[in-house]
């Protein structure tokens, strides 16, 4: 496959879409390579490629500072390894993206927890996911904050009993998080915004069935307060995603 992405012809002269594709190209290629030999992997590939593109689209529109990016990477690394970070027997529900801002005093604030869904049907399959995701994020932020406050990682107990190997891997990961926090000189605890939003991003053109409206209307709460909900559409449609996958899969 090529080193630099050739933009699929159907994207045209849309500079924003071109930039998003350039930024997400390495991840897209990796998805295609990993799934190319797995029978029946087309749906799985579509969902993951859409997530990669939607994440880069979100980043491009947020205009992060270097410190925000670093803080977000720490949080994302933690929720991608949430099973180990929290110390759970089973993988929990986690978001695809978080948005991080600063308050006037320079404190890191999480203002958005974002899930990318390839269709409304995919969202309906996991009706309890929004609340579960928020709960897991709260647990992760609590652990990160304990590290920021210089608590010995050995003293941050796992939620569930674990094997010696799992314990060793967990402590190693917590120490990595600690080192990254020190490198970024993060000294104030991470907080959730009072205006925290749970955002669902879907492909352009996806319609909203009434049943989904009922599902998204269910309250999501954090520490007793209601989390705002928002449904937004990507600039990329399902047709765009399929054409992008086909284009890069065929590119030598």
pLDDT, residue 2, reads 46
- How high is the pLDDT of residue 33? 75
Task: Establish if 19 belongs to a structural domain.
Answer: no
Residue 50 and residue 116: Cα distance in Å, rounded? 8
Provide the CA 74 distance to its chain's centre, in angstroms: 12
Residue 92 lies in a domain: yes
Question: Residue 198: which domain range?
Answer: 65-235
- Please report whether residue 183 resides in a domain: yes
Distance CA 45, CA 31 (A): 6
Burial class (CB in 10 A: 0-12, 13-18, 19+), 85: buried
- Asked if residue 212 is part of any domain, the answer here is yes
39 in a structural domain? no
Question: Based on the structure, what is the number of domains in the chain?
Answer: 1
How far, in Å, CA of 204 to CA of 101, rounded?
26
Burial 108-123 (b: 16+ CB within 10 A, else e): bbbbbbbbbbbbbebb
pLDDT digits (tens, 9 = 90+) for 193-209: 999 999 989 999 887 65
In a domain, 11, yes or no: no
User: Does residue 225 fall inside a structural domain?
Assistant: yes
pLDDT string in tens for the chain (252-residue length): 444 566 666 676 778 888 898 888 888 888 877 766 554 555 578 888 899 999 999 888 877 788 888 999 999 999 999 999 999 999 998 888 898 888 877 788 999 999 988 877 766 656 678 899 999 999 999 999 999 999 999 999 999 998 999 999 999 999 999 999 999 999 999 999 999 999 989 999 887 655 555 555 578 999 999 999 888 899 999 999 988 888 877 765
């Amino acid at each position: 496959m090529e080193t630099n992405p050739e933009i699929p012809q159907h994207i045209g002269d849309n500079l924003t879409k071109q930039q998003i594709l350039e930024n997400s190209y390495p991840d897209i290629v990796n998805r295609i390579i990993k799934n190319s030999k797995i029978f029946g992997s087309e749906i799985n590939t579509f969902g993951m490629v859409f997530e990669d593109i939607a994440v880069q689209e979100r980043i491009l529109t947020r205009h992060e500072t270097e410190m925000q990016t670093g803080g977000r990477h720490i949080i994302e690394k933690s929720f991608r390894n949430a099973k180990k970070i929290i110390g759970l027997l089973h993988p929990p529900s986690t978001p695809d993206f978080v948005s991080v801002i600063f308050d006037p005093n320079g404190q890191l604030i999480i203002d958005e927890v974002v899930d990318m869904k390839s269709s409304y049907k995919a969202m309906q399959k996991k009706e309890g996911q929004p609340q579960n995701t928020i709960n897991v994020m709260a647990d992760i932020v609590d652990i990160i904050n304990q590290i920021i406050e210089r608590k010995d990682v050995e003293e941050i107990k796992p939620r569930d009993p674990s094997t010696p190997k799992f314990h060793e891997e967990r402590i190693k990961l917590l120490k990595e998080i600690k080192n990254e926090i020190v490198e970024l000189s993060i000294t104030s605890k991470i907080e959730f915004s009072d205006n925290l939003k749970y955002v669902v991003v879907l492909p352009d053109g996806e319609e909203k069935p009434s049943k989904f409206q009922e599902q998204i209307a269910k309250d999501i709460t954090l520490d007793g307060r209601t989390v705002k909900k928002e449904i937004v559409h990507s600039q990329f449609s399902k047709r765009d995603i399929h054409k992008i996958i086909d284009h890069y899969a065929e590119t030598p």
